[in-house]
Amino acid sequence: MRIGLMLRSLDEKGGIGVYTRYLIEELLDLDRHNQYVLFYRNPSHLGRFAGYKNATEQVVIAPNKACWDQIAIPYACWKAKLDVLFHPKFTVPLMAPCKTVMVLHGAGWFMPESRNFWKSWDLKYVRLMMPVYCKKAAAVLSVSQLTTDIFNQLFRVPVGKIKTVYFGPGRHFRRIEELSTLEKVKARYLLPDRFILTLAKYGDGGRKNTKAIFDAYREVEEKIPHKLVVVGKDCHRFRDDYQFSENGYGKDIVFTGWVEQEDLPAFYSLADLFLYPSNVEAFPIPITEAMACGTPIVTSNVNGLKEIAGDAAVFVDPSRPEEIATAIRQVLLDSEVQKSLSAKSLERAKTFHWQKCAKETLALLESLA
């Protein structure tokens, strides 16, 4: 087969970018039989996969994402004589001359409780076009069963057209025991001795539920010896939004900013608790990362968070800061609870890994031949 890969999402720093980078690496490592054509929008990626004999890299130029998806890519597919085109995001070229496959990373656009987390124009666009893309695609991958069920119910697609395929954290996510590695990361980011870890980039605070996180920490700050470490792009701007002071409430909240992927396992390994009471998630990658590192978890009892965490977490109502605070104390003040959650995290982590994701993705692509 000749398989095309739309890779404009390689540049994204969020979950879809992580998904794209890891999946493509696993696919190319796994499959040396089929021929791959990698379409980049950013020319800086040329040579990234030059070591794979069955992969050809091309830069496709277009003035914007819509033209790239719907005009430039179909023409590139025709020239490359592709059998199937795979897009790690939720669109497909409507004029593609070959079969297409896309990936659903959630269904939040269609969930009433999450409408406020997207811009109005984005919401209208997705609601208008998603049924069209689902109909055009020869097959659709979904990152969670919740997402699959919602799309099946909304659009009544043919049975089996949407397939749930879990993925996982990067290969390097494991519990770090080497003291030298932990100390280097600790010194680099000025991390405290004992802390609770949470992830939230600035601008995504509503979905990540930062207000409830900060309100819950306010309740426990004086009762535990732990500081709160917040990781995410521009997260320091939350300090002004919530009017934290250096002497009063908020003095024990540490904002590290963006943390590179290679340093994150040390963060999870150093943390006594991973706090992630997000409002909306389809497949929360940070939950799988924390589980792979054996970190005790407190997360929301809603949507994909509960599906992915299984029995490896304490679940809370994300709308109730007092319940989150109680869960924090429950974990941090009871060593037996910590040990139990850590063991369950490591066991649950075995469910989610990229090799399995790549095998199932490849099987679906080959089934369309």
Residue 107's pLDDT is 83
Count the neighbouring beta carbons within 10 Å of the beta carbon of residue 204: 17
Say if residue 116 is in the same domain as residue 216.
Answer: no
Burial class (CB in 10 A: 0-12, 13-18, 19+), 39: buried
The total number of structural domains that make up the chain? 2
What is the model's pLDDT at position 303?
A: 80
Q: Which residue has the tokens 């709160």?
A: 228
Structural domain span for residue 136: 2-168+353-367
285-314 average pLDDT score: 94
Same domain flag for 73 and 109: yes
pLDDT value for 105: 92
Question: Residue 248: which pLDDT band, with cuts at 50, 70 and 90?
Answer: confident
Is there a domain that residue 6 lies in?
yes
Of 21-30, 135-144, 200-209, 220-229, where does mean pLDDT reach its minimum?
200-209
Residue 178 has which token pair? 């080497």
Report yes or no on 174 lying in a domain.
no
Among candidate residues 15, 68, 74, the one with its CA nearest the CA of residue 42: 68
Please list the residues that pair with 314 across neighbouring strands: 298
Using CA atoms in the order 178, 179, 183, 185, what is the torsion angle rounded to 10 degrees? 10
Tell me, what's the pLDDT at 126? 87
User: How high is the pLDDT of residue 114?
Assistant: 63
231 DSSP β-pair partners: 199, 257
Domain presence at residue 295: yes
Q: What is the DSSP letter of 137?
A: -
Angstrom distance (rounded) from CA 129 to CA 90? 10
345 and 358 share one domain = no
- Give the model's pLDDT for residue 369: 82
Exposed (0-12), middle (13-18) or buried (19+): which is 186, by Cβ within 10 Å? Answer: middle
Residue 26 CA, distance from chain mean position: 17
As a whole number, the mean pLDDT across the chain is 93
| CATH code of the domain covering residue 194 | 3.40.50.2000
DSSP one-letter code for 3: E
pLDDT at 44: 96
Return the higher-pLDDT residue of 216 and 170: 216
How remote is the C-alpha of 191 from its chain's centroid? 24
Instruction: Examine the domain organization and report whether 233 and 341 are in the same domain.
Output: yes
pLDDT band at 247 (very low <50, low <70, confident <90, very high): confident
CA 180 to chain centre: 29
Considering Cα of 166, then 281, then 146, then 331, what sign does the dihedral take?
Answer: positive
Domain shared by 188 and 212, yes or no: yes
Q: How far is CA 101 from the centre of its chain?
A: 19
Q: Are 324 and 361 in the same domain?
A: no
Answer yes or no: do 201 and 102 share one domain.
no
Instruction: List 230's β-bridge partners, or say none.
Output: 198, 255
Establish if 202 belongs to a structural domain.
Answer: yes
Share of the chain above pLDDT 90, in %: 82
**337 and 363 co-located in one domain:** no
What's the rounded Cα separation, in Å, for the pair 218 and 325? 9
The 10s digit of each residue's pLDDT in 259-295 is: 998 999 999 999 999 999 999 888 899 999 999 999 9
pTM: 0.84
Please, what is the angle between helix 15-30 and helix 354-367, to 10°?
70
CA distance 30 to 22: 12
Structure tokens at 256: 């590290």
299: in domain = yes
Are 338 and 229 members of one domain? yes
Clarify whether residues 164 and 183 are in a common domain.
no
Looking at the domain assignment, is residue 173 inside a domain?
no
Among candidate residues 197, 176, 198, 164, the one with its CA nearest the CA of residue 351:
164
Residues 103 and 219 reside in one and the same domain: no
User: Taking 90 as the threshold, does the pLDDT of residue 53 lie above it?
Assistant: yes
Asked whether residue 47 is assigned to any structural domain, the reply reads yes
240 and 160, same domain (yes or no): no
- pLDDT score for 184: 97
pLDDT tens-place string over residues 354-369: 999 999 999 999 999 8
Average pLDDT (83-99) is 97
